[in-house]
Amino acid sequence: MPVKTTENGEFKPLIVAFCCNWCSYAGADLAGTSRLSYPADVKIIRVPCSCRVNPLFILRAFQRGADGVIICGCHPGDCHYTTGNYYARRRMTLLFSMLDYLGIERKRTRVEWVSAAEGVRFSEVMNDFAKHITELGENKKLEDLRCKKSLD
Amino acid sequence: MHRIGVFVCWCGTNIAATVDVKAVAEAARKEPGVVFATDYQYMCSEAGQALIRQAIKDNALTGVVICSCSPRMHEATFRKTVQAAGLNPYMLEIANIREQCSWIHKDIKEGTEKAIILARTAIAKVMLNKPLTAGESAVTKRALVIGGGIAGIQSALDIAEAGYEVDIVEKQPTIGGKMTQIDKTFPTLDCAACILTPKMVDAAQNEKIKIFSYSQVEEVKGFVGSFKAKIRKKARFVDENLCTGCGDCTSKCPSKKNKNEFNLGLDNRPAIYIPFAQAVPKVAVIDAEACIKKKTGKCGLCEKVCSAGAIKYDQQDEIIEREYGAIVVATGFNPIKLDKYDEYAYSQSPDVVTSLELERLMNAAGPTQGTLLRPSDGTHPHTIVFIQCVGSRCDDARGKSYCSKICCMYTAKHAMLIREKYPDTDVHVFYIDVRTPGKNFDEFYRRAVEQYGVDYIKGMVGKVIPHDGKLLVQGSDLISNEQVKIDADMVVLAAAIEPDPTARSVATMLTASIDTNDFFTEAHPKLRPVESPTAGVFLSGVCQGPKDIPETVAQASACAAKVIGLLAKDKLLSNPCVARADESLCSGCSVCQNVCPYGAITYEDREFRIPGPKRSEIRRVAQVNEAVCQGCGACTVACPSGAMDLKGFSTKQIMAEVDAICR
Amino acid sequence: MQTEKEMANDIIRRSGVNPLKCMKCGKCSGTCPAYEDMDYHPHQFVSMVQKGRINELLQSKSIWTCLSCFACIERCPRSVEPAKIIEAVRLELIRRQGCNHLKSDAIPELLDDKLPQQAIVSAFRKYSK
Amino acid sequence: MQEIFGLIKEKAEKLFADGSVNRVLGWKKGETEYDRIPSVFESAEELEEFVYDGFCAANLSKYLIRESREDGKIAVLLKPCDSYSFNQLVKEHRIKRDNIYAIGIDCDGKLDIDKIKAAGVKAIQSIEENGSEVIVHTLYGDKKFNRQDVLLERCLCCKGKDHVSGDEFILAQNRVDTTVKDRFEDVRKLEAMTPDERFEFWRSELSKCIRCNACRNVCPACNCIKCVFDNEDSGVAAKANVDTFEENMFHIIRAFHVAGRCTDCGECSRVCPQHIPLHLLNRKFIKDIDELYGEFKAGADTETKGPLTDYRTGDAEPSLISDRGGSN
């Protein structure tokens, strides 16, 4: 289980960000090049397109103790593969709605469209998301207790 | 057995300043499967790459993780490196500990912790990497140029020069673009037509170049090396092959009061017209909206006077399908609409004109035959005020955030030409900054001030008030700290330029990306300025960003060089990170086919062994055409059984990454 | 006692204006109908607040001659909103003096047929805190 | 219903007799009075065991995945709601339409034995259906039910009496409409709860799951050659619930995989030995799809693209969900 508190006992969330290679990952790179900081709690996984993100990945992240999962892709209409983010948009909307229906905090998941030119936006989005997740606190509803126990 | 090597780059101090690289290497060494880990100052340097190659050989590594800058930067470099050491180039993963770690975190402890997690994530992924081999595909040796302005013409001429076929598709009835409307060019004051029209003629006469004027690209399918385009050749109601361009029809046409687009509506043209004297192709076109015959069925005068018999009232749009190996986007620009800036009274007075309109008013082929006259009353203007940055350099809510780049220079040109031709005219230029970076540019601007006595006022105009046939211009002079009021006869607005409105649809069609201003995005702002991130699509001219003519031509030729480089290849290696269907799991349900944007998935009946007396059964299973698949992964999520997976980004690999991050 | 820099920060915060957005084109002053009656002009307000020269501005008659017509806000290409900065400086002064120059009770007396509605609104904006 | 049963049997015998089919897919009596098992009859003689009554709830279309691949033609009996699943399977190329003779049959709602038992009925000897009455004969005497009161939940919000596919139809003169409630009523009730109440509801329901896979096995949309949860390579393979999360994962993913394909046949909930209202997961997806992307009925035809393999450029953004009001 990841360490989730700082030395002074503050909650440090674990956030998994799936970023499409062409827009959002490049946007994250631009944020880096521009030295625009966001919390180190955010860890990025590169995927070719937001449509590569399987609901399984999201649930697995929560199962293993992630506190928030964010999916970033090209703006609708700008997908490198023309239509990928449109499919991702429907899938994620329905999945998030289902998680909400199951009583999971609806702000733990998010989709944001960030272009390769939006380094500033990328950092703003991550700061904002991390802020929300920190406020929500630890994800208790979806994590896999077994994972926790085995490492305790 | 995995034998993974981890290489941590300092990137000078770029990484090493906020990440303890030694600690990262140390932590990586403890990961299962890792047999070697080290750090080095510059992994991408020749010495760094040699270190990697040596380590691969010495330690018989089966996979390599490099903790360095973004994979978008050096993934290709390091793939070559590991390949040179005998490893499959896809047995490499990059942990991005610069852009997504050292550069954004200030605390070394925090940075190091995150870098270790990123390294461990890459290690978890590389353990599941499989050797991949790039596929091959053929190259159609023909290029498509979208847009026939100076950019498109120059790219086409250069590509044709190298011996390849080029098609230019231009939506106007003639090629030439905006440059045809310009009178003189800075900083040499050449006549624009004199330098452009020979190029237009060259393009028309070149055997390798085919011009589709009055045409638009409607659909593009395929991928680098083998695009298939549908071109709509709009009906011009004149047979292009028969028309001699004599102009008899245009002088006889009774429908004469139609806005002349070439002169920006400053005068009129007939319903059948040739845009201008040097048009290429020099063929008449009928404006169906204005043609009396087309509207009422009566008239037919042009048909009667045409000795070549070229008039075809029943001509239909034609769809032409052609194949291309490369596509050049040269869709150009337009001045912005000025309705948002009514403080300058553009809509209130005909004597407030845009700079492009001024070009027409000063051009010998323009509405005034080159004599500068006020559009309102045809008198000579004696006081002219130029206003810079109209709609440029604004905040996003007010206009374009960028500098349109060409206005400072053309305004100096206009001011200079007016002062030269009409020395009795007072010329004032309101400017915020005068930007003249370019060869002989500042000298040119200084000449306008020093030699021609143009009055440059540092400040902006607040408003223009039309009154009694004059224009009261009120602005600030920041240097003398006073508000100035000038009673002017004409006001010229340096309107910002914006990409042609077709840019967005062209970008969508080509799956190329555009920025928030609709300029096409280049593959790399510095190192790949003429390529789009979409393979096989190249950028020429202002469609990529504001440019003057010399820059446009330079970029057009650079773009041509890239196209030639592509067309010179017989085979292209394709990205091996494509989808693959596991036939043993596939139930042939077609959901993957439904979401594939490339039509890369087909179905085949295959025989499978099954338990039971029948022993085998025929099943419909998905097949991926690897040359067509671009590797987006839409199918992998649509597939409920997980039969569809993406090489290089497999479900297992991404799951391993998730697990490594959440450990 | 506040330093000038602190006052400047207060004014920036109160007005919501970011003077760094200014590209120094002078359009605000070019458009200002009250320009001639001002000692410091709209563009100078922006740059002086940025530089922290507040005491001079507090002495300025411009804070009273500004008509609050918002033409500069309307036309600024970079949405800097100089009139709001002038207003914030004025407010600084009004607060120090601790009194409203215009009470709502006094309005009916001041009204006449020719007075445009906008002038009343502007006057309220200008003379009360 | 007795009359319909006769007509169906007659038809089946005729099909055997003239050789148009070599098998008939129907139901036969199981171990108990109310147990009906899907069965393939290979001759007119075997039809002696054939039965069609209020307990023949099982959706037969899924069996066609295997049966339509056998030699010869098979006749299948489809209730109106089954014909949607049938269409969906044709759309997904899972059944060979040419090898099937589909007979649409009448349905006046199927009985829920749990509701009967819940009324305290024990030692059932036989059950008699008599129009709007159901009479249960037990060792301790007879018990009468109003038919409407003991119908399966899915029949109370019946999709309609019309078949969407079939080669021939055997229908009653007077067709009974059993619809009394809106099928999204229960979903709406859940939506109206607070997130914590919903979480508690689903936690208590899903924690009953014993991962017997009955829902998966009966579901006509769950027709993968190998389920991801059985596939080592998928990374989520698990045969049993070791902890609370596995149930969430399994049921969310299962519902997601059938989203846009589920015809709401309700078999999952009917067969669940733990009585988990699984159909409420599927109906949530159906409701969201209808509201967000326009009404869509999976299996209404064999061509239309499913909502998850289609899009509109102006589709709703996922932020729609996170921006919903209320507490988290």
Kindly list the domain boundaries of chain B, sorted by start residue.
4-126, 142-234+317-332+507-567, 248-305, 334-498, 579-646
Q: Is residue A141 part of a domain?
A: yes
Closest-CA residue of chain B to C24: B432
**CA distance, residue D228 to nearest chain B CA (Å):** 5
Examine the pLDDT at B448 and tell me if it is beyond 50.
yes
* Contact (CB, 8 A) for B535 and B563: no
Average pLDDT of span B573-587? 92
Buried b (16+ CB within 10 A) or exposed e, A24-54: bbbbbbbbbbeebebbbbbbbbbbbbbbbbb
Q: Check CB contact of A152 with chain D, cutoff 8 Å.
A: no
Chain A interface, mutation test: which of D285, D311, D312, D324, most A Cβ atoms within 10 Å? D311
CATH of domain B4-126: 3.40.50
Maximum Cα–Cα distance for chain C, whole Å? 46
**CA distance, residue B87 to nearest chain A CA (Å):** 23
Q: Check CB contact of B643 with chain D, cutoff 8 Å.
A: yes
SS3 content of chain A, % helix, strand, coil (to 5): 45, 15, 40
d(CA D214, CA D201): 21
Residue % of chain D over a pLDDT of 70: 96
pTM for this prediction:
0.69
**CA distance, residue B403 to nearest chain C CA (Å):** 12
CB atoms within 10 A of CB B163: 11
Least confident of B318-332, B517-531, D77-91: B517-531
Name the CATH code of domain B579-646 (choices 1.20.120.450, 3.40.50.720, 3.20.20.10, 3.30.70.3270): 3.30.70.3270
CB contacts, 8 Å: A22 with chain B: 513, 533
Note whether B521 contacts A116, CB cutoff 8 Å. Answer: yes
Would you tell me the crossing angle of helices A55-63 and D244-258 to the nearest 10 degrees?
A: 170
Note whether D315 contacts A77, CB cutoff 8 Å. Answer: no
Residue A150 is predicted with a pLDDT of 42
d(CA D287, CA D294): 10
Closest CA to B35 of B75, B54, B63: B63
Note whether C75 contacts B343, CB cutoff 8 Å. Answer: yes
pLDDT in tens, D147-167: 999 999 999 999 888 999 999
d(CA D228, CA B642): 6
pLDDT in tens, A31-44: 999 999 999 999 99
- Among partner residues B587, B618, B638, which is closest to D309 by beta-carbon distance? B638
Q: Check CB contact of A151 with chain D, cutoff 8 Å.
A: no
* Contact (CB, 8 A) for B100 and B118: yes
**CA distance, residue D107 to nearest chain B CA (Å):** 29
CB contacts, 8 Å: B585 with chain D: 224-226, 231
d(CA D281, CA D269): 10
**CA distance, residue B610 to nearest chain D CA (Å):** 11
Q: Check CB contact of A93 with chain B, cutoff 8 Å.
A: no
**The one-letter amino acid at C85:** I
Higher pLDDT pick, B221 / B178:
B178
Examine the pLDDT at A148 and tell me if it is beyond 80.
no
Buried b (16+ CB within 10 A) or exposed e, B22-49: ebbbebbeebeebbbbbbbeebbeeebb
Examine the pLDDT at B386 and tell me if it is beyond 90.
yes
Cα–Cα separations (whole angstroms), residue A95 to B482, D241, D280, D305: 63, 22, 15, 19
Average pLDDT of span B402-417? 97
Residue % of chain B over a pLDDT of 90: 90
DSSP-derived letter for residue B101 is I
Q: What phi-psi label fits residue A79: left (phi over 0), alpha (psi between -120 and 50 degrees) or beta? A: beta
Residue D1 is predicted with a pLDDT of 66
CB atoms within 10 A of CB B641: 22
Note whether B587 contacts D257, CB cutoff 8 Å. Answer: no
Note whether A103 contacts D201, CB cutoff 8 Å. Answer: yes
Burial degree of A100 (CB within 10 A; 0-12, 13-18, 19+): buried
CB contacts, 8 Å: C30 with chain B: 430, 459-463, 474-476, 483
Element holding B9 (H helix, E strand): strand B4-9
Q: What is the dihedral of CA D29, D35, D36, D42, to 10 degrees?
A: -40
Kind of pairing between the strands at A42-47 and A15-20: parallel
Question: Which tokens go with B325?
Answer: 């190996």
Residue % of chain B over a pLDDT of 70: 100
**CA distance, residue C25 to nearest chain B CA (Å):** 5
d(CA C128, CA C90): 10
Considering just the CA atoms, what is the radius of gyration of chain C in Å? 15
Cα–Cα separations (whole angstroms), residue A115 to A30, A32, B505: 10, 14, 18
- Among partner residues B99, B534, B595, which is closest to A28 by beta-carbon distance? B99
Examine the pLDDT at B153 and tell me if it is beyond 90.
yes
- Among partner residues A87, A102, A143, which is closest to D202 by beta-carbon distance? A102
Q: Which residue ranges make up each domain of chain D?
A: 2-110+161-170, 113-150, 185-315
ipTM of the complex: 0.79
**CA distance, residue B417 to nearest chain C CA (Å):** 26
List subunits contacting chain C, requiring 3 or more Cβ pairs under 8 Å: B
Considering just the CA atoms, what is the radius of gyration of chain B in Å? 31
Mean pLDDT over all residues of chain C?
Answer: 88
Contacts 24+ apart (CB under 8 A), D181-188: D181/D156, D181/D157, D182/D157, D183/D157, D183/D264, D183/D283, D184/D283, D184/D287, D185/D157, D186/D277, D186/D280, D186/D283, D187/A101, D187/D280, D187/D283, D187/D284, D187/D287
pLDDT in tens, B52-97: 999 999 999 999 999 999 999 999 999 999 999 999 999 999 999 9
CB contacts, 8 Å: A65 with chain D: none
Higher pLDDT pick, D162 / C108:
D162
- Among partner residues D93, D228, D305, which is closest to B589 by beta-carbon distance? D93
Question: Which tokens go with B22?
Answer: 């030694």
Closest CA to B57 of B39, B31, B32, B82: B82
Higher pLDDT pick, B139 / D210:
B139
CB contacts, 8 Å: A93 with chain D: 288, 292, 315-318, 320-321
Examine the pLDDT at B399 and tell me if it is beyond 90.
yes
DSSP-derived letter for residue D230 is G
Kind of pairing between the strands at B601-609 and B616-624: antiparallel
Residue C91 is predicted with a pLDDT of 87
Note whether D92 contacts B591, CB cutoff 8 Å. Answer: yes
- Among partner residues D69, D93, D225, which is closest to B641 by beta-carbon distance? D225
Note whether A80 contacts B533, CB cutoff 8 Å. Answer: yes
Q: Check CB contact of B458 with chain C, cutoff 8 Å.
A: yes
Q: How many CB pairs under 8 A join B and C?
A: 75
| Residue corresponding to tokens 């999204």 | D184
Residue D242 is predicted with a pLDDT of 61
State the total domains in chain A.
1
Examine the pLDDT at B485 and tell me if it is beyond 70.
yes
Q: Check CB contact of A50 with chain D, cutoff 8 Å.
A: no
| Residue corresponding to tokens 């950019």 | B151
| DSSP code per residue over B39-52 | EES-TTSHHHHHHH
CB contacts, 8 Å: C77 with chain B: 389, 393-395, 398-399, 460
Q: Check CB contact of A87 with chain B, cutoff 8 Å.
A: yes
Mean pLDDT over all residues of chain B?
Answer: 94
d(CA B515, CA B656): 34
d(CA D225, CA B587): 6
d(CA D234, CA B643): 9
DSSP-derived letter for residue B250 is H
Q: Which are the contacts of B7, defined by CB distance < 8 A and separation ≥ 6?
A: B37, B38, B39, B40, B43, B48, B51, B52, B55, B64, B65, B66, B67, B68
- Among partner residues C27, C36, C41, which is closest to B460 by beta-carbon distance? C27
CB contacts, 8 Å: D258 with chain B: 640
Strand ranges for B85-239 from DSSP E: 92-96, 135-138, 142-146, 165-169, 184-185, 190-191, 209-212, 215-223, 226-233
Residue A43 is predicted with a pLDDT of 97
Strand ranges for B555-636 from DSSP E: 571-574, 579-581, 601-609, 616-624
Note whether B591 contacts D258, CB cutoff 8 Å. Answer: no
* Contact (CB, 8 A) for B499 and B380: no
Element holding A70 (H helix, E strand): strand A68-73
Closest CA to B198 of B278, B262, B274: B278
Note whether B461 contacts C30, CB cutoff 8 Å. Answer: yes
Name the CATH code of domain B142-234+317-332+507-567 (choices 3.50.50.60, 1.10.10.10, 3.40.50.2300, 1.10.10.1200): 3.50.50.60
| Residue spans of chain D under pLDDT 50 | 327-328
CB contacts, 8 Å: B399 with chain C: 77
CB contacts, 8 Å: B655 with chain D: 235-236
pLDDT in tens, C64-103: 999 989 999 999 999 999 999 999 999 888 888 766 677 7
d(CA B253, CA B237): 14
Note whether C79 contacts B474, CB cutoff 8 Å. Answer: no
DSSP-derived letter for residue A74 is P
Kind of pairing between the strands at B537-539 and B616-624: unpaired
Q: Check CB contact of B463 with chain C, cutoff 8 Å.
A: yes
List subunits contacting chain D, requiring 3 or more Cβ pairs under 8 Å: A, B
* Architecture of the domain defined by C4-127: Orthogonal Bundle (1.10)
List subunits contacting chain B, requiring 3 or more Cβ pairs under 8 Å: A, C, D
CB contacts, 8 Å: C24 with chain B: 432, 478
* Contact (CB, 8 A) for D4 and D105: yes
| DSSP code per residue over A130-145 | HHHHHHH-S--SSS-H
Which residue blocks in chain D are alpha helix, DSSP H?
A: 2-17, 64-67, 80-91, 113-118, 153-156, 185-192, 195-206, 214-218, 244-258, 267-271, 279-293, 319-322
Closest CA to D29 of D126, D143, D115, D106: D126
Q: Check CB contact of B315 with chain C, cutoff 8 Å.
A: no
Examine the pLDDT at B330 and tell me if it is beyond 90.
yes
Q: Are C and D touching by the rule of 3+ CB pairs within 8 Å?
A: no
Domain membership of residue A136 as a residue range: 15-151
| DSSP code per residue over B10-78 | -TTTTTTTTS-HHHHHHHHHTSTTEEEEEEES-TTSHHHHHHHHHHHHHHT-SEEEEEES-HHHHHHHH
Does residue D291 sit in helix, strand or coil? helix
CB contacts, 8 Å: B481 with chain C: 41, 44
d(CA C81, CA C72): 7
- Among partner residues D228, D258, D306, which is closest to B641 by beta-carbon distance? D228
**CA distance, residue B546 to nearest chain C CA (Å):** 19
Q: Is B334-498 in CATH node 3.50.50.60? A: yes
Residue A151 is predicted with a pLDDT of 41
Note whether D321 contacts A59, CB cutoff 8 Å. Answer: no
Residue A146 is predicted with a pLDDT of 45
Closest-CA residue of chain A to B125: A45
Kind of pairing between the strands at B537-539 and B326-329: parallel
Maximum Cα–Cα distance for chain B, whole Å? 105
Q: On the CB side of D242, how many CA atoms lie within 13 Å of its CA?
A: 13
Least confident of B388-397, B505-514, D261-270: B505-514
